[in-house]
């Protein structure tokens, strides 16, 4: 649950050195919807596009593999896996678009490794910045669905990537280039264009959003202050060393990092190897057929995330849905290991897709929405996503070439790591729920004795009044 919303608010300057106080001035619901719609239209399409092209660029080697990338570049053994892994070892929009496009012109293994390293360097700030950026504009009760446009753009990228790969397969030999080269070049160009365009659209904060009128900027700011008063103090809005240190010493953040590591092992291995896995189900399927069969899996994953995110926002519950996503991944991988024939393994791909974006996507909302202070939140998001990138380094090696066609080791390891994610979700859920019960019962009120309202809000998530979203 979140703290109850108060209906009447405004900002008046408090005493010197204190936060401006909230008092009566009604936010008109109609004006609030108009302001929120303006924010949505100016942020969500750009964020969606960023991660869509980001995900296309990082995962297109999986599609290119079916068109002879390994043979043309002379890759042997696990060099294909290494080329995927090094991206996350380093893991700017215009620069990543240039690198992604020029990857299609590489001539050998060394050139491919260099391009993937540069691509990881260019893309690495995008996702954590997008996560923190969205918390500037939205309240906690809205974040799961809005984050969905960021998270499920990876699913759309998978579907679009499969369709593009299918179509680009017919370009093999055009102007003397193999189809996998055309695939990397064509998928890289939009990143550059979007990066240039977004420079003029995205605002640094609600206060500098030129697409909002002054009253609308106030509405967006006030909504955030009502949602989390602990995030509204001047100190809470800036990065301070004590808050940064607090992120590293908070065990909950490390638990979230472990949870995301398991979620991203599944996400990255699926996005890279789904074409290979489907090809292994029936070796008689043509490359174009395999590309086409990846599309419905990703489409299903995107649909399921939005359904789950909507329910999660309405109920203001995160942990049960993250656990649901991890369990779906466990069941799907068991189906891939144990299934025979075509139907069971291919259905297993859909079962995995059911929770593919849910487990990590919901956690991505859950953690930062419980960290009202900017310094702690931004540090925690960096730690969280670094853990996810670490999964990207490991995931490609779970499916070595000589382990095909069943790839039992990769599926088994993924099941075990997803069990760790389930455990972390359960532990965090239990702990936060217990703290919420104590705070609602007034058992921590003694920590506020002698404090002003401003000082209480300065405590951030340690405030006895702060209620975690669970």
Strand partners of residue 22: 11
The torsion angles phi and psi of 21, rounded to 5 degrees, stand at -90, 155
pLDDT in tens, 248-262: 999 999 999 999 999
pLDDT > 90: percent of the chain: 25
Listed range (15-19, 63-67, 68-72, 320-324) with the worst mean pLDDT? 15-19
Instruction: Give this prediction's pTM.
Output: 0.73
Is pLDDT of 95 > 60? no
Q: Report whether pLDDT(339) > 90.
A: no
Is 440 in contact with 467 (CB distance < 8 Å)?
Answer: yes
CA distances from 141 to 131, 182, 219, 319, 466 (A): 15, 43, 16, 15, 15
Which two three-digit tokens encode residue 44?
């969500």
Closest CA to 92 of 61, 41, 127: 127
At 147, the pLDDT band (50, 70, 90 cuts) reads confident
Cis peptide before 405 (omega within 30 of 0): yes
Per the model's pLDDT, the better-predicted residue between 364 and 149 turns out to be 364
71-88 tens-digit pLDDT: 766 666 666 666 655 544
Kindly state the average pLDDT of the residues 360-371: 90
Task: Quote the CA–CA distance of 376 and 372 in Å, as a whole number.
Answer: 8
Q: What is the mean pLDDT of residues 152-172?
A: 71
Identify the residue with better confidence: 428 or 160: 428
Output the pLDDT for position 68: 65
pLDDT in tens, 101-131: 445 545 666 666 666 666 666 666 677 777 8
pLDDT class for 393, splitting at 50, 70, 90? confident
User: What is the model's pLDDT at position 101?
Assistant: 44
Strand blocks (E) in 161-268: none
pLDDT-wise least confident of 99-113, 167-181, 204-218: 99-113
Residues contacting residue 282 through CB under 8 Å, at least 6 positions apart: 342
Asked whether the predicted pLDDT for residue 69 surpasses 80, the reply is no
Q: How far apart are CA 177 and CA 199, in angstroms?
A: 33
pLDDT at residue 67 is higher than 90? no
Residue 45: strand pairing partners: none
170 against 13, higher pLDDT: 170
- Residue 37: pLDDT above 50? yes
Residue 26 is given by DSSP the state: B
pLDDT tens digits for range 9-28 = 333 444 434 444 433 356 78
Q: What is the pLDDT of residues 295-308, one digit of tens each?
A: 899 889 989 998 99
Cα–Cα distance, 443 to 437 (Å, whole number): 9
| pLDDT beyond 80 at 159 | no
Tracing tokens 């939140």 back to the chain, one arrives at: 377
**Could you tell me which residues come within 8 angstroms of residue 55 by beta carbon, excluding any fewer than 6 positions away?**
153, 154, 157, 158, 161, 271
């Amino acid at each position: 649950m979140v703290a109850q919303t108060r209906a009447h608010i405004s900002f008046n300057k408090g005493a010197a050195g204190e936060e401006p106080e909230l008092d009566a001035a009604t936010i008109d619901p109609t004006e609030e919807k108009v302001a929120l719609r303006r924010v949505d239209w100016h942020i969500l399409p750009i964020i969606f596009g960023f991660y869509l092209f980001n995900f296309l660029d990082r995962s297109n080697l999986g599609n290119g593999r079916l068109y002879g990338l390994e043979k043309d570049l002379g890759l042997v053994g696990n060099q294909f896996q290494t080329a995927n892994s090094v991206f996350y070892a380093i893991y700017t929009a215009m620069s990543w678009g240039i690198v992604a496009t020029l990857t299609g012109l590489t001539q050998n293994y060394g050139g491919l490794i260099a391009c993937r390293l540069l691509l990881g360097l260019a893309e690495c700030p995008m996702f954590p910045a997008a996560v923190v950026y969205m918390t500037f504009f939205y309240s906690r009760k809205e974040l799961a669905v809005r984050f969905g446009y960021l998270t499920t753009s990876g699913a759309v990228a998978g579907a679009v990537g499969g369709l593009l790969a299918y179509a680009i397969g017919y370009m093999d030999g055009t102007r003397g280039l193999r189809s996998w080269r055309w695939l990397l070049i064509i998928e890289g160009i939009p990143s550059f264009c979007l990066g240039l365009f977004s420079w003029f659209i995205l605002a640094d904060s609600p206060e500098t959003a030129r697409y909002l009128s002054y009253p609308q900027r106030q509405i967006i700011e006030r909504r955030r202050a009502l949602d989390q008063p602990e995030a509204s103090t001047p100190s809470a809005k800036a990065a301070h060393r004590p808050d940064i240190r607090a992120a590293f010493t908070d065990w909950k953040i490390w638990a979230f990092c472990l949870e995301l590591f398991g979620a991203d092992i599944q996400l990255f291995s699926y996005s890279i190897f789904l074409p290979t896995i489907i090809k292994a189900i029936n070796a008689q399927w043509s490359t174009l057929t395999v590309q086409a069969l990846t599309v419905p899996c990703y489409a299903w994953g995107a649909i399921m995330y939005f359904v789950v995110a909507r329910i999660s926002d309405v109920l203001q519950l995160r942990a049960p849905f993250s656990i649901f996503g991890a369990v779906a991944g466990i069941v799907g991988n068991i189906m891939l290991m144990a299934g025979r024939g075509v139907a069971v393994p291919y259905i297993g791909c859909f079962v995995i897709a059911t929770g593919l974006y849910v487990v990590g996507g919901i956690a991505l909302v859950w953690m930062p929405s419980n960290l009202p202070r900017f310094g702690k939140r931004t540090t925690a998001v960096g730690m969280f996503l670094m853990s996810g990138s670490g999964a990207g380094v490991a995931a490609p090696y779970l499916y070595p070439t000589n382990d095909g066609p069943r790839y039992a080791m990769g599926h088994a390891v993924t099941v075990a790591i997803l069990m760790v994610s389930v455990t972390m979700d359960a532990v965090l859920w239990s702990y936060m729920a217990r703290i919420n019960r104590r705070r609602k019962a007034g058992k921590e009120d003694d920590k506020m004795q002698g404090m002003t309202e401003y000082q209480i809000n300065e405590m951030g998530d340690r405030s006895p009044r702060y209620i975690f979203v669970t």
